Each structure stands twice: as structure tokens, then as C-alpha cells.
Amino acid sequence: MAGRSNGPGGDRGDFGEEWARDLRVQFEQLMRTKRLTEIGQSRANRSRLDSEERASPSPNLRAHSAAPSSSSSRPSSSYSQGHGHTSPALPPSYSSLRNFPKIPTAPASHDKESQKFRNLLVSLSQTPTRYENPGLLDEALHVIPLDRIYSEAEEESQVLEASAASMGDGRKPEWGYQDCVIRALLRWFKRSFFTWVNNPPCPVCLSPTVARGMTQPTPDESACGALRVELYECSNQACGAYERFPRYSDVWRLLQTRRGRCGEWANCFSMLCRAVGSRVRWVWNAEDHVWTEVYSEHKQRWIHVDACEEAWDNPRLYTEGWGKQMSYCIAFSIDGATDVTRRYVRKSEHALERNRCPEEVLLYIMQEIKVLRRGNLSKEERFRLEKEDSREDRELRGYVVASITQAVTRIVPGSSTPSASTRAQPIASSPSNDDQKLPAEQPGRQSGNAEWVAARGENGRRNQQFQDPRNPPRR
């Protein structure tokens, strides 16, 4: 690493962009050299075994050396090649398999868990298709104060353009005009339009209510997508009235009620984003949360948006802010489905075990949904989406590389811990410079009362473990 200007011994005394680039190059060179050494050793071992076989007339030796070829369908390893005469049936080592790509594989007929997970994901993939209803989009446009939204967006866009121009280096504004439209829509939706529900008030005396479990939906509630209904009793014994809280999934109905928890918030907000012309994704998390992603043409990538928290482009909010551990984060759009877990889970300590199905099966399910959604598109449109998929895959893999780089940085011999101001500066190789907040800057969960948040384990550094048996965690 000699000659780097921003290394630990450089003028700045911290880890800069050139140091990170040098580290990456050296790491790649090290892995390349190691791989070439393994290949050379493997070839040498094969040549030695072949020469021994030719030199020895013993039938026992020939039979012994031919034994591994009976399982030639299995991958070979440098260990088995060098020690074939002692344990020819050993499984291939990890080093011989780690570079093999995972091949999408359909779930086996006897694998009930994988079949169940596939059916769940295919069912969830229907959610964003409802946002394409012209009548629903027209109704949404009547609800949104378009003059206010576009006025705020225009003002913010002009400020960003002026700020970029003042730098004098020809840089682009931080966000484009359509991004500013969604940001204005997010503020209005959170502050003026939708209401969070913990326990709904009594419909008679407006006193607080107590949860009494679940009840069956009425035909009208079922018609609006309420598969379950929460039942609450007034805490005022003189009243004793009951309040029903249907968990609607029909977006048209949510435009009327304008209340709910994260499921209703994400569903309604995603549709409103679609109504103002943005491409949207509805993101499902296996640990009971949902949110939105909006595609930024300006940034050429998908942007994390959580209406409940009024969060914009902060994908590490859940793990480093809420202290949430996650296993699966799947983004569904009108164009297919994508596993975006790597965008939201950057460190191993925040990752839960992914045991719903094998990874090869998950790849197959993602491709299956994409084929289903893109079947009627033109060849040019499919090609455009495939290029977009490749670009996003590079971005997601970049998050893994950035995480490894940070881990390596901590163990570099003779290195000192960078200052807080240095850590706040993103490395150039990082795929996204817009979500690089320090853990201390990540807010805890804002939506929901303290007991509800604590029961879900999403109170971050507050971490007050509280569980009220009368109010189990609900999405």
C-alpha cells in the first residue's frame, strides 16, 4: 500500500478513497494468486497420480486409482486429488465449491415448506398489480392536493439545482424533480392524510379501548379485503361499547378510512406514488413489516421510502436504528419480484437465518414471478428491465463488498480507528452514498406506542423488553 496519499501514514491520517481502492486491488490480487496456486497444485497432483499409474503394473494400484473415477459426476477437490489413495470418497472441499453460481431450482414436490413459501410469495406478488387500476388511480388523484405537492416539489428542485450549480464543478442536483414530488407526497401523507392506529377510541364515548382478540369479518368488510378484524372494548365500564378494527387491504377503502398500521400505510402510499407517475415496489419483510421503494430516474436506482417513519433513502433504518433482525426482504412490482435483503441487512449480526427454502429455490421463485409479470411486454421493454436488474444486482453485491471492506479495515495491522468525521464520509467504491448514516444518527421507531414497539423488538437502543399479554404484536 506504499504510495497511497490517504492511508494511515498519509497527510490526513485516515482512510481515504485511494486507500480503499488500493486495498480492494490488493485483495483481488491476493485471491487471484491463491486461486491460481490451488489450480497449479491440483494439476500437479493429477500429473503425479497419472505417472504413478503408468509406472506401476500392479492391478491393485490400478484398481485403487480408478476408484475415484467411479464418482466422476462429483466435483473434485485438491484434497481428494492429492490423497485419493487414502480416502477417495471424501466430499469436495469448500474451496472447490465457493465459486460455483447458484442455479435456480424448482421446489421439490416433497418439500412442503418450500412449496408453501412459493405460494405465499406468488400471492404477495399480486399486491402491486392492483395499483394499475385506472379508476383507482383517478380516485387517488382527486384525493391528493396536487397544487400543493407540485409547488413544494418545484421549490425544492430549484433549491437543489442552485446548490449544485454553486459548487462550480458541473455536478448534478442531489435529487431530480420527480424525486422531489415523492418527497413532498411523503410529507403530506405522514403529516396530514393518514393516521396511525394503536387502539382505536371508543365510538360512543371516545374513551381508550382494550384489545379483546380477533373476530370474523362481516361480508362488507370481506368485500374490502379485510381478512381479519381486531375487536376492542371500551375501558369505561359505564359504557362497555365495542369497536371493530378491520385490517383492510383494498386501497380504495383505505382512501376513505385513512387509518391503519404499517400494512395499510405502505399499501396506500405505494398506490399514491403510482398515481403521480412513479414506478413503485411494495416491499415485504418476513419479520412483520412492509414499506415502499420508488425508482429514481435521476439516480438510476430504487429508493427506500417508509411512509410510517417519513423515511427517505435510509435502508439501514431497521437494523441500525430499530435494532431489528431480518431474514427476507422481497420487493414486488408490476414487473416482477426481487430479493433486496442485502440492501437492508448489511451486517451479519442483523441477519436472521433464511430457512423458508433453499437459496436456489428462492432464485427460481423470483424468476418465475418475473416471467409471469413480463410475459406480455415487448422485447425492447424486457431487455431494458434485464439491464436494470443487472445494475441493481451489482449495487446489492456492492453492499456486501463494502461490508467486507469495513470489516477488513478494522483488522488491518497498524491501522488506527478513523475519526467520526472520516467514517461519515462514504468510500468511493460504495454503491450508494446517500444512506451512509452513522448508527448514532439512525432514529428509533417513531410510529406506534412504546409498549407495541417494545413487544416487536423494534425499540433500538432503548431496548426495553415489554410484552403486554392483552396486546400481542400486530402489523
Rounded Cα distance, 369 and 356, in Å:
17
Give the phi and the psi of residue 66 in degrees, each rounded to 5. Answer: -85, -10
E-strand ranges in 272-393 read 280-285, 289-296, 301-306, 311-312, 329-333, 336-339
Single out the residue of 299, 318, 28 nearest to residue 178, CA to CA: 299
Rounded Cα distance, 475 and 463, in Å:
19
Single out the residue of 462, 452, 145, 431 nearest to residue 313, CA to CA: 431
Rounded Cα distance, 193 and 196, in Å:
10
Rounded Cα distance, 281 and 302, in Å:
9
Contact 122, 365 (CB under 8 A): yes
What is the 8-class DSSP label of residue 173?
P
Rounded Cα distance, 164 and 174, in Å:
7
| Amino acid, single-letter form, for residue 214 | M
Strand pairing of 301-306 and 209-215? Answer: unpaired
| Buried residues in 321-339 as b, exposed as e (16+ CB within 10 A) | bbbbebebbbbbbbbbbbb
Look up cell 493429477; give the residue: 46
The residues assigned a catalytic role are 262, 289, 306
Rounded Cα distance, 272 and 184, in Å:
12
Contact 230, 244 (CB under 8 A): yes
109 CA to centre of own chain: 29
- Which residues, in sequence order, are CB contacts of 362 under 8 Å at separation 6+? 339, 354, 356
